[in-house]
Amino acid sequence: MSAKKTALVISAHAADFVWRCGGAIALHASMGYKVTVACLSFGERGESAKLWKQPGMTLDVVKKARRTEAEKAAEALGVHDLVCLDLGDYPLELSRDDKNRLVDVIRKVQPSFMLSHSQYDPYNTDHMYATQVALECRMIAQAWGHNPGEKVLGAPQLYLFEPHQTEQMSWKPDTFLDITPVWEKKRAAIECMEGQEHLWEYYTRVAINRANHFKRNSGGQSGGRDCKYAEGFQSIFPRTVDEL
Ligand SMILES: [Zn+2]
C-alpha cells in the first residue's frame, strides 16, 4: 500500500470510466484520494456512433469532441489527472513503447488500488485487451530490473468494474461500493457523454440494482445498511488480513 491516497483507472475508451466506476472515482476523490484516469483511446471509432451519423464527420472532430466530453466528466467526478494516451480504438493495440508509457504512469501514480475492465468481453475486445495490458504493465511496474532506480510498484488490488451485457462477460462481483453520497456527481458525469445518451438511464438502473445487492450483503432484512446507488467490482488478487 502506498502511504499517499491514490488510485488509477485504466479505461480503454474515453467514456468507460464514467459508466463503470464514476461513483468510485467521485467517492474516493471526496475522501482525499488523488484519482488518475488513463484513457487508452477516445473511443473515436467504436463508441462514437452518434457523432459519425452527422454528415461530413472526420476522425479529428470526433476525437476532439470525445476528449472534451471526457474532460468535463473527469471534472464533474473530481479526477486529479486525466491522461489521454490517444492510442486508437477498434482495435486498441499497444506497442512495447506504449506499454512502457503506461508503466511510467503506474509508477508515477503509485496507486493504492487500480480499476479496469472485465477479463472477458466478446462484444468489445478492446475492453478485455485493456485489462490484459493493465495486468502486464502492473507486473512490469513491480519489476526491480525495469528502469532500475525508479520506485517500484507495491501490490495494488486490481478491481474489474462492471461491463456492459454483464451476464455474457464471466464477471462476478465480490465487492459492492455504496456511491449514494456522490450519485449526483456520477449522474452529472454521465450527462457529459452526449454522444451516448442512450446509456444514461441504463446505467442509472444498474446503480439502483447494485444498491439492492449492497443492502442484501450488508445484512439484508436483519440490519442491512440502506443504499440507493452502488457499483459492483470483481477483485483479482487475494486480500492479506490479520483478522476475519
Ligand atoms: Zn469502451
pLDDT in tens, 47-105: 889 899 999 999 999 999 999 999 999 999 999 999 999 999 999 999 999 999 999 99
CA atoms of 61 and 59, how far apart (whole Å):
6
Cα-to-centroid distance, 220 and ligand 1 (Å) = 33
Ligand 1 center–CA 208 separation, angstroms: 22
Between CA 83 and CA 85 the distance in angstroms is: 6
pTM of the model: 0.95
DSSP 117: -
Residue 3 has a CB neighbour count (10 Å cut-off) of 7
- Rounded mean pLDDT, 207-228: 92
User: According to the model, what pLDDT value does residue 4 have?
Assistant: 75
DSSP state of 182: G
Q: How far is the CA of 235 from the centre of ligand 1 (A)?
A: 20
Cα(243) to ligand 1 centroid in Å equals 38
* Alpha carbon 208 to chain centroid, angstroms: 19
Joined grid coordinates for residue 85: 494516451
| Dihedral angle of Cα 40, 43, 76, 83, to the nearest 10 degrees | 20
State the DSSP H helix or E strand holding residue 114, giving kind and residue range, or none if neither: strand 113-116
Distance (Å) from CA 93 to ligand 1 centroid: 14
Answer whether residue 122 shows pLDDT above 50.
yes
CB count in 10 Å sphere of residue 223? 7
